[in-house]
Structures are given as structure tokens and as C-alpha cells.
Amino acid sequence: MRHQRTGKKLGRDAAHRKALYANLAGALIEHGRIRTTVTKAKAVRPLAEQMITLGRRGDLHARRQATAVLRSRDVVHKLFAEVAPRFKDRPGGYSRIVRIGPRAGDAAEMAYLELVDEEYVAAQREERATAAPAPEEHEVIVDDDEDEATEPVAEADEDEEPEADEDESDEDEEPSAEDEPEASADAGEAAEDEKS
């Protein structure tokens, strides 16, 4: 029985929908990652995974079945030669859907449909792994610069002239603080003299 197997219509007739699925599945196999709406990604994902399963079989009949769906010999060749061998030990779940938010024009929910072990994804993972230690190295470089910056300051502290200037400024500040209370006391005496 084939009950409840209609699938999404996507506002297209059968021939248009079949062509859309073939194009999206072919683009996924060719590029490893496509950006589309969530609804289209959910609709084409089972078909793309069936094509990868055919590629894992690898026989002539599977190749002809894949060609009948994907309509491109170049894509079928890449599927059988490059993509399917990467998934030979994986019993399914060859792709993932990653939601990326609404589209600017019509607010349609967008997503990436990508192969799980795609080189592009692996390359991004490596970039993130190498990028994580990079800030630590950068911090070490900054620390080295700070050490170099502190060394001349330490040399300047060894010179006696800056210390003498600091001592003189401290001495100048202390008497001025003491003079202020005396000045206020003199002003108070002057005020009493004027009253009398």
C-alpha cells in the first residue's frame, strides 16, 4: 500500500517538482552544501540520501537508477567515485539541515542542507580548531610586547633622575598640604582681629 506518501507539493506540478528535487539533490552531491528553504530541504533530503545509498551499492543497476533520477552523468560519476565511498561505513544519516534564519526578501525560513562528512564542513572544523589556539598565541605576543614595554620603564626607574623628580614632587605636595591648614588658621586670626 502507498497510503500517506504524497509528500510536499511545493506549489508545483509533478514534473516541475521532480526537476526541482533532481536539481537540488544534484547540487548537494556536487557541492556538498546548499542553501535553500527549510521546506525544500526537508523534501529533498530523503531523495539525496537514497542516491547516496545507491552510490554505496556501486553496481551498474544502481548507477542507472541514480542517472534516471539525477539526470546528469557528471553528478552521478561524482556520487559513485567520491561521495559514496566516504559514507561506506555509515549506515544512514548522510546529511543534516542547519537552520540559518529568515530570508530578507520574504522572511522564508532558510537552512543549509549539507553532507555530514563533507570536505567543506571538515575544512571549517579544522579552521575553527586552528583558530582557537590562535588567540592564545596572540595573547602571548601581546604579553611579550608588554614585557618589552615594561623593560624600558624598569630601566628608567633605575636612573636616579626620575626618582629624584618623584621625590621632589612628593615633598612639594606634602608642604602644600600642611600650608593649607596654617593659611586657614591665619585667616581665622585675621577675622578675629577685624571684629575686635
| Interatomic CA distance for residues 121 and 114, integer angstroms | 8
User: What pLDDT tens digit does each residue of the chain (196 aa) get?
Assistant: 889 888 899 999 999 999 999 999 999 999 999 999 999 999 999 999 999 999 999 999 999 999 999 999 999 999 999 999 999 888 899 999 999 999 999 999 999 999 998 565 666 667 778 887 544 544 444 444 444 544 544 454 555 555 555 555 555 555 554 555 555 555 555 555 555 5
In SS3 terms, the chain reads as CCCCCCCCCCCCCHHHHHHHHHHHHHHHHHHCEEEEEHHHHHHHHHHHHHHHHHHHHCCHHHHHHHHHHHCCHHHHHHHHHHHHHHCCCCCCCCEEEEEEEECCCCCCEEEEEEECCCHHHHHHHHHHHHHCHHHHHHHHHHHHHHHHHHHHHHHHHHCHHHHHHHHHHHHHHHHHHHHHHHHHHHHHHHHHHHHC
Per-residue pLDDT tens digits for 1-10 = 889 888 899 9
Give the number of residues written for the chain: 196
| Interatomic CA distance for residues 45 and 25, integer angstroms | 8
Query: What pLDDT is recorded for position 39?
Result: 96
Query: What pLDDT is recorded for position 138?
Result: 46
Q: Hey, CA dihedral for 36, 38, 43, 47, is it positive or negative? A: positive
Whole-prediction pTM = 0.60
Label residues 65-91 b or e (16+ Cβ within 10 Å = b).
Answer: bbbebbebeebbebbbeebbebbeeee
Residue 17 neighbours by CB under 8 Å, 6+ apart = 9, 10
| Amino acid, res. 73 | R
